Chain A
Amino acid sequence: MIEVAGSLKRRLAVWLLVTVTGLGALLMIEARVSSQRAAERAYDSQLEAAALTIAEAVQWQQGEPLIEVPAAALQILATRHQERVFYAVLDADGEAVSANLPFAIEPSWRERAAAEPLALTARLDGEAWRLYGREVDSAGWVSQEPVQVWVGHTRAGRMALAGELFERTLTRFVAMVLLAGVLMALALRVALGPMRRLRRVLRRRDADDMRPLDARVPEEMRELAQTLDHLFARQRQSREALLRFTADASHQLKTPLAGLQSVSELALKSEDPADWQAALTTVHEGAGRTSRLAGQLLSLARLRHLGEADEIAPLDLAALLRETLLEWAGREAARDHDLGLAEPPAGPVWVRAEGWAIRELLGNLIDNALRYTPPGSVITLGLERLGGLEVLKGLEGGDPDRERVDEVALFVEDDGPGVPVEARERLLQPFERGGRQDTDGSGLGLSIVDSIAHRLGGRLTLAAREPHGLVVRLHLPLCDPKEAP
C-alpha cells in the first residue's frame, strides 16, 4: 500500500527555514553587536578629535593651566546629531580647571586615562553619555604637571548610526534568504527532473512489458532503477515459469486424453463386446490417471496462488504422521511395499502447520516412494528432533542476539534405486521425473511437496541413502509447547 507521508519540497522548505532561522538569529546578534561597535568607533574618533583640539589649546600661565575652549571642538563634539556636549580639563589632582557640566570623573577613570586614552559609556544626569579622556603633557615655565582632557557627548548619533547599519545588514540578509529560497525551489525542480522522467517512462510502459528500464538516471537513483529492473526480471521469470507450467500441463493432459480418444475410437470400430470391455477398462484407468493428474495440477496451482496461510495452528506432527501412515498402509497401492514407521520421539511434536498441507505432503512423498521403487522395497517414515538451529532473534538486523530454535525433520526414506545427485534439484520442478519414464507418475508430486514446504516455512532436502535409496527430509521449526492447545 502506498502511503504519502509528507512532501520532499515541504521537508526541504522546513529544513531551510530551520537552518535560516537559527543561522539568521546568530547572524542578527552578530550584526547588532558589530554595528554598535562600528558606530562607537566612528563617533569615538570624533571624541578623540575634539579632545585633541582642546588639548592643543591648553597653555600655562603663572603655573596654572589656562584653556580657551575652541568653538570648533564643541562643534565636533556635538556632531550633526546635535548631541549634548561635555568637556572638562582636569589638573594633576583631578580638580576641574575648566568644565561646562558638573560631571564627576571617577579616580579609576583618571588612572586608566593616564595610561592610555580611554573611552567609556556612563550614565550621567539621567542620560547615557560616551566619555573620552586622555592625558596631555604640557610644559610651562613654572609647572610641568600633566593635565587630563575629558570630553563627552550623548549617544543619539551612535544609536542612529548603529540602527542604520543594522537595518542595512538586515535588508541584505532578508534579500539573500529570499533569493536562496527561489534558487532552492528552482534547484529542487531541476533535481527532481530525473524522477519525473522515470515516472513518465514507467507510466508509458505496457502492462506486459518486462524488459529492463531504458532511462538515464543520476547516481542517487541508480539503486531505485536497479531495484525496479530486478523486480521486472523476477516478474518476467515468474511469468515465464507460469507460461511453461501451463504449456507443460496442457501437454501432460493432452497425452492421456489423446490415448483415451484413440482407445475409444478403436473400440467404436470394433463389433466385439470383449474389445469394448477391454477398451472401457483402459479408458477407465486412463480417466483415473488423468483425473489424478488434473487433481495434482489443481492442488499445485492452488498452493502457488493461495493467499497467506491463515489456518496455521500448532499441531502434533507425531500423531498426524501415525494417522497418515495407518491410512496409507491399508491402501491397495501399498500392498507390495513394506511401509513402516521409525521409532518416533517420545511425546507430541508440536509444529505450526495446517493439517491438510502436511497430509497432502506426506501423501505425495509416500505415493512417490511407492511409485518409483520396485515392489518389496522398504519405505520408512519417521521424525527426528534436531536441536540447535540458530536464527536471528529479531527480523531486523539490529539485534545481535541469536535464538536457538529446535527443529524437527520429517523424513521418508526408501531403499529403491535412488536419484543421481545432478537430477535431485530438478526433481522439484513440475513434470520432472528424474529420467524415469517407466512409471505412470505425473512428475508433479515433489513440486507440490516443495510448495507446501515453502508455505510452512520449512526446508526440503533430498539426500542419498546408503547403500542405495533416497531420503526426503522436511525440516520444520518446532513451536513452543506452551502454545499447544
Chain B
Amino acid sequence: MTPRHALHPLLLAMWLALLMMGATPLRAAPTPLVVEAALDREVVAPLLEAFRAAHPEIRLTFRDRSTLEVDALVAEADPAPDVVISSAMPWQMARVNQGYARRLDSPAARRWPAWAKWRDEVFGFTFEPIVMAYRLDLSRHMAPPQTHADLHRLLTTEQDMLEGKVTAYSPLKSGVGYTLYQQDARYTPRFWDLVAGMGRVDAQLEGSTRAMLEGLSEGRYWLGYNLLGSYAMIWAQQHPEVIVQVPKDYSLVMMRMAFIHRDAPHPAAAEAFVDYLLGREGQRVLAGQTPLFSVRPDIVGPYTAARLRDQVGERLFPIPLNASLLAFVDPQRRAAFLERWRREFRRQD
C-alpha cells in the first residue's frame, strides 16, 4: 500500500483499457471491516498485517479496548461491530447466549476443536497460560514461588519484606482478573487463604497485565500473580529483570473468544476475518509471530498449545468454554464473589 506518486504510462493505459471495457477498476472500493477487540494491538499486529496482505479487498479497522468496553459495545454500538474479540470469556459467552452471535459455517470452523468453540458461533482462538512473574530482586531474598502453595507460604513468611510489593488483578476493574479468580476459587477453597495473604501484604490491584509488568520493571512490585502469559513472556524477553514462572501445580489457560456480530454490517468480510483467525494461515502467524499460542494441533511454531504442553506438562487447565461460564456473570453470584473477595482480602488473623 505504498502511495503512488505517478502512474506508470503503461499501467495508465491498461487502467484506461479496463475502464473502456466496462470492467470494474482493479482497485474497487474496499469492504470495510470493524473489529472491536480486547487484545493489545502490538501483540496482534503481525496477524493483522498478514490478514491485510491476504485480503487486500478488505479495509480492516482494529480497535483495541478494555474487556468491559468491548462488552458494552456489543449491545450498544450502532452500527454494530463486525467482529468482537475479548478475553473476558464469561461476558463473551453471555453475549452469545443472548443471541448476539452469528453462526460461522466454514471448513475451518467445522474442524476447530470442540472444546474451544460454542454453538459454532464463538471460537476460542488463542491458548494463553496464566503465569506468575517476579523481579530478580525477589530471588536475592527468597526462593521464588513455583506453585500456588509456595506463593501462599511466601505471603505468610515474608510478610514484611513483601509489603506493598505484590501485584494482582483487581477483580472489580478487570473482567479477566475476575474470571481467573472465579476459576481459581473453583479448584480449591485454599484460594481464599491466598487472597487473605495478599490482603495482609497489601497487594496492589491493577486493571491489566501491562500495568503489572510496568510496575515490576520499574521496581515498584517484586511479585505478580495471575498475569497473562502471552504478554508476560514478550515483556520478559525485552526486560531481563522480569522472570516469568508458569505455576508448577496448575496453570490456568485463557482463550480469546471471537464471534461475528449478529448485526454485522459486513458479514462476508467478518466471516473472512474469523475464518482467517481459525485457518491454517492465521494460526501459523499466531504461533510464529505472536505469543498468543495457536490452538490448532497441526501448526508448528514456538507458540503452540502442543509445545506449551510439552514444556509445562499436563498442568494446563484451560477455562472450559461452555455454559458454566454464564454463572460467572450472574449479578448475584458476582456480587457475592466480590463481597467474599473483599472480606477475605481484609481478613485479619
A→B interface (CB under 8 Å): 66-72, 74-75, 77-78, 82, 84-85, 97-98, 100-101, 125-127
- Quick check: is B330 within 8 A (CB to CB) of the other chain? yes
Residue on A nearest B98 in the bound complex, by CB: A101
B 82-129 contacts with A by CB, 8 A: 94, 96-99, 118-119
B323 touching A77, Cβ below 8 Å: yes
A69 touching B98, Cβ below 8 Å: no
Q: Which 7 A-B pairs have the closest CB atoms?
A: A71-B324, A78-B323, A71-B327, A74-B323, A69-B330, A82-B119, A68-B333
- Quick check: is B326 within 8 A (CB to CB) of the other chain? yes
Shortest distance in angstroms between A411's beta carbon and chain B's nearest beta carbon?
106
B 317-344 contacts with A by CB, 8 A: 322-333, 336
B326: A residues at CB distance < 8 A: 69, 71, 74, 85, 100
A71: B residues at CB distance < 8 A: 186, 323-328
A70 touching B99, Cβ below 8 Å: no
In the assembled complex, 27 residue pairs joining A and B whose CB atoms fall closer than 8 Å, in A order, are: A66-B332, A67-B333, A68-B327, A68-B330, A68-B333, A69-B326, A69-B327, A69-B330, A69-B332, A69-B333, A71-B323, A71-B324, A71-B325, A71-B328, A72-B324, A74-B323, A75-B323, A77-B323, A78-B322, A78-B323, A84-B119, A85-B326, A98-B330, A98-B332, A100-B94, A100-B326, A125-B99
B325: A residues at CB distance < 8 A: 71
A77: B residues at CB distance < 8 A: 323
A69: B residues at CB distance < 8 A: 326-327, 330, 332-333
Shortest distance in angstroms between B347's beta carbon and chain A's nearest beta carbon?
20
A70: B residues at CB distance < 8 A: 327
| Given A82-B118, A82-B119: A75 and B333 interface contact (C-beta under 8 Å) | no
Shortest distance in angstroms between A25's beta carbon and chain B's nearest beta carbon?
35
Residue on A nearest B120 in the bound complex, by CB: A82
Q: Which of A68, A75, A84, A127 contacts B322 (CB 8 A)?
A: A75
CA distance A68 to B327 in the complex (A): 8
Number of interface residues of B (CB under 8 A): 21
CA distance A85 to B96 in the complex (A): 10
Shortest distance in angstroms between A339's beta carbon and chain B's nearest beta carbon?
116
Residue on B nearest A125 in the bound complex, by CB: B99
B 277-328 contacts with A by CB, 8 A: 322-328
A82: B residues at CB distance < 8 A: 118-119, 322-323
CA distance A97 to B332 in the complex (A): 9
B→A interface (CB under 8 Å): 94, 96-99, 118-119, 186, 322-333, 336
| Given A68-B336, A82-B118, A84-B97: A100 and B330 interface contact (C-beta under 8 Å) | yes
CA distance A75 to B328 in the complex (A): 13
CA distance A407 to B232 in the complex (A): 129
Which of B98, B330, B331, B336 has most A Cβ within 10 Å? Answer: B330
A100 touching B322, Cβ below 8 Å: no
Which of B98, B186, B324, B331 has most A Cβ within 10 Å? Answer: B324
Which of B186, B323, B326 has most A Cβ within 10 Å? Answer: B323
Shortest distance in angstroms between B92's beta carbon and chain A's nearest beta carbon?
14
A68: B residues at CB distance < 8 A: 327, 330, 332-333, 336
Shortest distance in angstroms between B261's beta carbon and chain A's nearest beta carbon?
16
Apart from the given pairs A85-B326, A100-B329, 11 other A-B contacts in the complex at a CB distance below 8 Å: A67-B332, A69-B330, A70-B327, A71-B323, A71-B325, A74-B324, A82-B118, A84-B97, A85-B97, A100-B94, A101-B97
Q: Which of B323, B329, B332 contacts A85 (CB 8 A)?
A: B323
CA distance A132 to B262 in the complex (A): 27
B118: A residues at CB distance < 8 A: 82
A85: B residues at CB distance < 8 A: 97, 323, 326
Shortest distance in angstroms between B173's beta carbon and chain A's nearest beta carbon?
22
Which of A66, A78, A97, A126 has most B Cβ within 10 Å? Answer: A78
A100: B residues at CB distance < 8 A: 94, 97, 326, 329-330
CA distance A450 to B94 in the complex (A): 110
A66: B residues at CB distance < 8 A: 332, 336
Residue on B nearest A78 in the bound complex, by CB: B323
A101: B residues at CB distance < 8 A: 97-98
Residue on A nearest B96 in the bound complex, by CB: A84
CA distance A98 to B331 in the complex (A): 8
CA distance A126 to B94 in the complex (A): 17
Residue on A nearest B334 in the bound complex, by CB: A68
Residue on A nearest B333 in the bound complex, by CB: A68
Residue on A nearest B101 in the bound complex, by CB: A84
Which of A71, A74, A100 has most B Cβ within 10 Å? Answer: A71
Q: Which of B186, B324, B331, B336 contacts A75 (CB 8 A)?
A: B324
Shortest distance in angstroms between A126's beta carbon and chain B's nearest beta carbon?
8
CA distance A97 to B331 in the complex (A): 10
Residue on B nearest A74 in the bound complex, by CB: B323
| Given A67-B332, A68-B336: A84 and B99 interface contact (C-beta under 8 Å) | yes
Residue on A nearest B121 in the bound complex, by CB: A82
CA distance A70 to B323 in the complex (A): 11
Shortest distance in angstroms between A113's beta carbon and chain B's nearest beta carbon?
21
Shortest distance in angstroms between A57's beta carbon and chain B's nearest beta carbon?
9
B333: A residues at CB distance < 8 A: 67-69
Residue on B nearest A66 in the bound complex, by CB: B332
A67: B residues at CB distance < 8 A: 332-333
Shortest distance in angstroms between A104's beta carbon and chain B's nearest beta carbon?
15
Q: Which of B99, B330, B331 contacts A127 (CB 8 A)?
A: B99
A98: B residues at CB distance < 8 A: 330-332
